[in-house]
């Protein structure tokens, strides 16, 4: 194990995969300058043939990633902020997510679209979305939502090796956070979550950047209320690790879903539907979503803080769940 910042773990994953397979290429906006630090040094190390700074042309570079992958390369396409997924959406939605089916498998697309999403930095209305379900709703593309340095590295390595497209959504506000990263060729499978903290009273499924406030809330609840929260990190927003979520809810009978995505596009809906269908008998209280409100992210720090879930919101939801018994 080595302690690293998430952004360095991502950088390691990119470097290791480029080293491992010379058909891995990296294209995107400012991958040389690297505003987040995740691609820093790769241009110097691997050269301008394989690491290419592109114009600010998301529609083009998204589609080029698809075309180059169809023609035999393993492409990492850096879209910078996750909101720019929207400007690249034809490539992702109409091309990447469906060419496998439309061509009956003649085309497989090893493309990883990587971007940083989420609020907390006053990046305001067009640089703060966490749009995993916009992509998950397409069905044909994996969506990785890493929350820790170790998972970020392991999921990215798996994403680059996958023969189908992946949207790798790193949390903008967590890049500097330290975490344990296993040594060696560390990979994390897509579609498998993990229990981040064990507990028998209430299940909290926390997506991406919400893991940290969920763990903080769990700590407070254990100390102040004697409530033992089980925190589940799905790690991949699509496809969901249904077994893991159902197993935890089967144990606790209570479920909170914490997601930085807006309520209308959060995982609270799909997870509630899953548990209502397959875990209904185990529920002892209503499922409570804790999400960002159905609004664009506001700029002023008190506004932003008020609209994105924090430890107090999560703890309040857990207490409310615990007080209800059906």
Partner 1 sequence: MIPNDPAARSIDLLRGMLTIRKAEERLARDFKAGALPGPVHLYIGQEAVAVGVCAQLDARDWITSTHRGHGHFLAKGGDPRAMFAEVYGRSTGICGGFGGSMHVADVSKGILGANGIVGGGIALASGAALAAQLDGAQRVGVCFFGDGAAAQGVLSEALNLAALWKLPLLLVCENNGFSEFSPSSGVIAGSIAGRAEPFGVPGRQVDGNDVEAVAEATAEALERARGGAGATLIEAATYRIHGHVEGEHAFLKTQYRADEEIERWRGRDPVARFAATLVERGTLDAAAVEALAGEIEAAVEAAADSAAEDPYPEPAELDRHLLGAA
Q: Does 57 bind partner 1 (CB under 8 A)?
A: yes
Q: Does 72 bind partner 1 (CB under 8 A)?
A: yes
In whole angstroms, how close is the CB of 69 to partner 1 at the nearest point?
7
Binding span for partner 1 by CB under 8 A among 72-80, 151-159, 206-214, 220-228: 72-80
Say whether 181 sits in a helix, a strand or coil: strand
How many other CB atoms sit within 10 Å of the CB of residue 302? 8
Name residues contacting partner 1, limited to 79-108 (CB under 8 A).
Answer: 90-91, 94-95, 99-107
Closer residue to partner 1, CB minimum distance, 121 or 161? 161
User: What tokens were used for 252?
Assistant: 């606790």
In whole angstroms, how close is the CB of 279 to partner 1 at the nearest point?
22
Tally the residues of the chain. Answer: 326
Q: Residues 239, 250, 269, 270: which binds partner 1 (CB under 8 A)?
A: 239
Name residues contacting partner 1, limited to 284-313 (CB under 8 A).
Answer: none
User: What tokens were used for 43?
Assistant: 């241009």
Name residues contacting partner 1, limited to 164-203 (CB under 8 A).
Answer: 164, 191
φ, ψ for residue 226, nearest 5 deg: 65, 25
Binding span for partner 1 by CB under 8 A among 48-56, 216-224, 255-263, 275-283: 48-56
User: What tokens were used for 154?
Assistant: 């392991």
Spatial separation of the C-alpha atoms in residues 80 and 46, rounded to whole Å? 20
Binding to partner 1 by CB under 8 A, coded x per residue (else -) over 129-158, reads ----------xxxx----------------
In whole angstroms, how close is the CB of 73 to partner 1 at the nearest point?
5
Closer residue to partner 1, CB minimum distance, 71 or 281? 71
Spatial separation of the C-alpha atoms in residues 138 and 214, rounded to whole Å? 28
Q: Does 71 bind partner 1 (CB under 8 A)?
A: yes
Is the separation of the CB atoms in 213 and 311 below 8 Å?
A: yes
| Active-site hit among 8, 78, 127, 132 | 127
Is the separation of the CB atoms in 307 and 128 below 8 Å?
A: no
Spatial separation of the C-alpha atoms in residues 287 and 270, rounded to whole Å? 12
Give the E-state strand segments of the chain in sequence order. 2-5, 24-28, 51-53, 74-81, 111-117, 142-144, 166-171, 178-181, 194-197, 202-206, 229-233, 236-238, 255-262, 288-292
* 78 a catalytic residue: no
Closer residue to partner 1, CB minimum distance, 107 or 316? 107
Q: Does 62 bind partner 1 (CB under 8 A)?
A: yes
Q: Does 21 bind partner 1 (CB under 8 A)?
A: no
Q: Does 211 bind partner 1 (CB under 8 A)?
A: no
- How do 142-144 and 166-171 pair as beta strands? parallel
Spatial separation of the C-alpha atoms in residues 270 and 175, rounded to whole Å? 27
φ, ψ for residue 107, nearest 5 deg: -110, 120
Binding span for partner 1 by CB under 8 A among 35-43, 69-77, 251-259, 318-326: 69-77
The residues that touch partner 1, with contacts defined as CB under 8 A, are 25, 27, 49-50, 52, 54-55, 57, 59-73, 75, 90-91, 94-95, 99-107, 139-142, 164, 191, 238-239
Q: Which residues are catalytic?
A: 127
């Amino acid at each position: 194990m080595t302690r690293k910042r998430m952004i360095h773990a991502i950088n390691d994953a990119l470097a290791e995969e480029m080293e491992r397979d010379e058909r891995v290429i990296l294209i995107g906006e400012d991958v040389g300058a690297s505003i987040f630090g995740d691609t820093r040094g790769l241009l110097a190390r691997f050269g301008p043939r394989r690491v290419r700074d592109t114009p600010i042309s998301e529609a083009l570079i998204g589609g080029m990633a698809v075309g180059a992958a169809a023609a035999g390369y393993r492409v990492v396409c850096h879209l910078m902020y996750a909101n720019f997924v929207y400007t690249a959406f034809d490539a992702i939605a109409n091309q990447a997510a469906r060419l496998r089916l439309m061509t009956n498998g003649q085309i497989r697309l090893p493309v990883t679209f990587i971007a940083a999403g989420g609020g907390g930095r006053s990046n305001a209305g067009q640089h703060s979305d966490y749009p995993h379900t916009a992509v998950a709703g397409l069905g044909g593309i994996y969506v990785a939502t890493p929350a820790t340095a170790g998972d970020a590295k392991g999921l990215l390595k798996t994403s680059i090796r996958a023969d189908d497209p992946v949207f790798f959504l790193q949390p903008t506000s967590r890049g500097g956070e330290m975490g344990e990263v296993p040594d060696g060729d560390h990979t994390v499978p897509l579609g498998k979550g993990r229990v981040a903290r064990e507990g028998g009273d209430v299940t909290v499924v926390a997506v991406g950047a919400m893991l940290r406030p969920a763990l903080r809330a769990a700590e407070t609840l254990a100390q102040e209320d004697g409530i033992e929260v089980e925190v589940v990190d799905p790690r991949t927003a699509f496809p969901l690790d249904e077994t893991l979520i159902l197993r935890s809810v089967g144990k606790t009978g209570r479920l909170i879903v914490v997601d930085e995505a807006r309520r209308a596009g959060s995982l609270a809906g799909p997870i509630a539907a899953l548990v209502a269908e397959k875990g209904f008998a185990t529920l002892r209280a209503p499922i409570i979503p804790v999400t960002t409100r159905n609004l664009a992210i506001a700029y002023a720090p008190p506004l932003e803080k008020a609209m994105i879930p924090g430890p107090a919101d999560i703890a309040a939801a857990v207490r409310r769940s615990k007080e209800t018994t059906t």
